[in-house]
Amino acid sequence: MTCIECGGNLKTRKENYRYLACGLPNVTLAGVEVRRCGTCGDHEVVIPHIERLHEALAMAVVKHEARLNGSEVRFLRKYLGYSGVDFAALIGVSPETVSRWENKKETMGPSAERLLRMLVVHKGPIQQYPIEILTHISANARAKPIGLRPVGEGWVEQELAA
């Protein structure tokens, strides 16, 4: 293989690699393939199954007993697939609050932190979401009856007759 920077020869070997691209400062990938150029020093890392890697990272972060720091809040929000604005709407805070958490200007409160951890563990990354639904929550709205019907081994919402 040749280096895309200088055309030099790449040497491949397994090594431990500090994975800064995830946004977390203390992540090391053990025994991954790293290709280094002997001419210019450039390198590339082969990261197989990156989605599974990020899932494992997210689970490792939420399992730690220490309070979440700003980098971890940002990583988990991005892992879940939310923009800062949409994440703020989801958990009921302002976008500025999310920004202050992620930029380490403010510590996330315990309730919000538990909610974020639960979203990671129980919900996982989203594929699509109708965030505009969250903007229509009203204290004056009346609760509607909820109908559910079994389908296969699960349940789906069912409109109830008036």
CATH 1.10.260 in the chain, residues?
49-136
Q: What is the pLDDT of residues 16-39, one digit of tens each?
A: 999 999 999 889 999 899 999 999
pTM over 0.85: no
Identify the CA nearest to 68 among candidates 42, 9, 77.
77
Q: What is the pLDDT of residues 71-108, one digit of tens each?
A: 999 999 999 999 999 999 999 999 999 999 999 999 99
Q: Are 10 and 35 in contact (CB under 8 A)?
A: yes
Assigned CATH topology for domain 49-136 = 434 Repressor (Amino-terminal Domain) (1.10.260)
Alpha carbon distance 119, 86 (integer Å): 14
